Amino acid sequence: MKATINDVAKQAGVSIKTVSRVMNNEPSVRQPTREKVMEAVNELNYKPNLAARNLAGTKAYSIAFIYDNPNAYYVIDMQNGILSACKQQGFELLIHPCNSNSEGIVDEITNMVKHSRIAGLVLTPPLSEMPEFVKHLLSLEIDVVRIMSGDIAPDDLTPCIMVNDHQASMRITQHLIDLGHTDIGFLAGQSEHMSTVERLRGYKQALEENGIKIDPRLIIDGEYSFESGVNGAKQLMAGDVRPTAIFSCNDEIAAGALFASRLMGIPVPEQLSITGFENSPFSRQTWPRLTTANQPNPKIAEGAANLLIAKARKQAASNIITEYTPQLVVRDSTSQINQ
């Protein structure tokens, strides 16, 4: 028979209210009492009925992840990170994909918030980079935490988890320069994403700091997709200035560039070095494996969810990293020029 909260209270020798406070992770419970209750929870394999708890109480025990991102690996990593925090904190996760360019996006999310009894929202780009949309959410008296590209939050609307794409981009570009490359192409993602802006800014700064002139012909606009990488690489290699290296705004673009180079008979890395960004499965499933920047998306998402839950509970957020700098991962797709 499934254990109940009464069973836990009886075995731990405490009141039902104390068990409830422990399960809700309320800070006022003494640590020895908390440990005694959790020992009973584990021994009885007690699983609280979160749906019933939501209906019965005045508090909400669900958070929502709203996203508009074509990168399936990114979305899955974010979902897994948020879900990990929810499981640890006794919360449920509502996942809501949407189209950020839709005229009805505000009404859509407003209805979802009003009908779902959620404690708060985790937003990722591009939704997290739409201040008027964020202001509207806050007007609904809902807590929000944003995941954003940059080293400094652009405003004080909500708590943010920042991803320092600029610094990571400088390191990738510097790696290529250290290998002797000076004609370095840049394949961009969508221009409305701050990640594109920050990665391009880092690329340009690294070139400037090494006395290398920025050539607009080597910068190709595009999207965060495999097809964009294929088309962008073909455009670069057919241009007036043929690069010896390509910086791709993410691993999916880089995988497309790698495929295009194979179609054109250009060996990688012997004649062309290619880098990605994010360290997604794309970077490890290609051959050669891609040099990239490791962006720990599950940890970033878990931190955002913990920050949101702490805010919803009006608790101080502690030991939560609020800035991440993706770290350079050197693999087989880059080498010394003319090697």
pLDDT at 21 over 80: no
Tell whether 13 and 99 lie within a shared domain: no
The domain containing residue 191 runs over which residues? 165-295
Separation between Cα atoms, residue 118 and residue 142, nearest integer Å: 8
Q: Which of 274, 295, 316 is the last residue of a domain?
A: 295
Distance CA 135, CA 118 (A): 17
**pLDDT band, residue 55 (cuts 50/70/90):** very low
pLDDT digits (tens, 9 = 90+) for 103-162: 899 999 999 888 888 889 999 999 999 999 999 999 988 899 999 999 899 999 999 999
CA distances from 261 to 4, 220, 254 (A): 61, 16, 10
| Residue 312 counted as domain residue | yes
In a domain, 335, yes or no: no
- Under the banding of pLDDT at 50, 70 and 90, the label for residue 57 is very low
Same domain, 16 and 136: no
| Residue entry with tokens 């087989």 | 332
Q: Which of 29-38, 42-51, 106-115, 319-328 has the lowest mean pLDDT?
A: 42-51
Q: What is the pLDDT of residues 248-302, one digit of tens each?
A: 999 999 999 999 999 999 999 999 999 999 999 999 999 999 999 999 999 999 9
Residues 62 and 18 both lie in one domain: no
Of 239, 235, 247, 240, residue with least CA distance to 272: 247
Residue 123 lies in a domain: yes
Write a three-state SS string for the chain. Answer: CCCCHHHHHHHHCCCHHHHHHHHCCCCCCCHHHHHHHHHHHHHHCCCCCHHHHHHHCCCCCEEEEEECCCCHHHHHHHHHHHHHHHHHHCCEEEEEECCCCCCCHHHHHHHHHHHHCCCEEEECCCHHHCHHHHHHHHHCCCEEEEEEECCCCCCCCCCEEEECHHHHHHHHHHHHHHCCCCCEEEECCCCCCHHHHHHHHHHHHHHHHCCCCCCHHHEECCCCCHHHHHHHHHHHHCCCCCCCEEEECCHHHHHHHHHHHHHCCCCCCCCCEEECCECCHHHHHCCCCCEEEECCHHHHHHHHHHHHHHHHCCCCCCCCCCEECCEEECCCCCCCCCC
Whether 145 and 171 map to the same domain: the answer is no
Comparison of pLDDT for 43 and 147, the residue scoring more: 147
- pLDDT score recorded for residue 49: 56
| Mean pLDDT, residues 186-208 taken together | 96
Task: Inform me whether the pLDDT recorded for 53 exceeds 70.
Answer: no
Which of these ranges, 49-63, 64-78, 193-207, 311-325, has the smallest mean pLDDT?
Answer: 49-63
Joined tokens for residue 307: 């920050």
Same domain, 209 and 220: yes
Domain contains 201: yes
Q: Which residues contact 126 (CB under 8 A, 6 or more apart)?
A: 68, 100, 190, 192, 193
Residue 329, domain member (yes or no): no
Residue 334 lies inside a defined structural domain of this protein: no
Count: domains in the chain: 3
* CA atoms within 13 A of residue 229's CA, in its CB half-sphere: 26
Query: How many angstroms separate the CA atoms of 334 and 292, rounded?
Result: 10
What's the CATH number where 196 sits? 3.40.50.2300
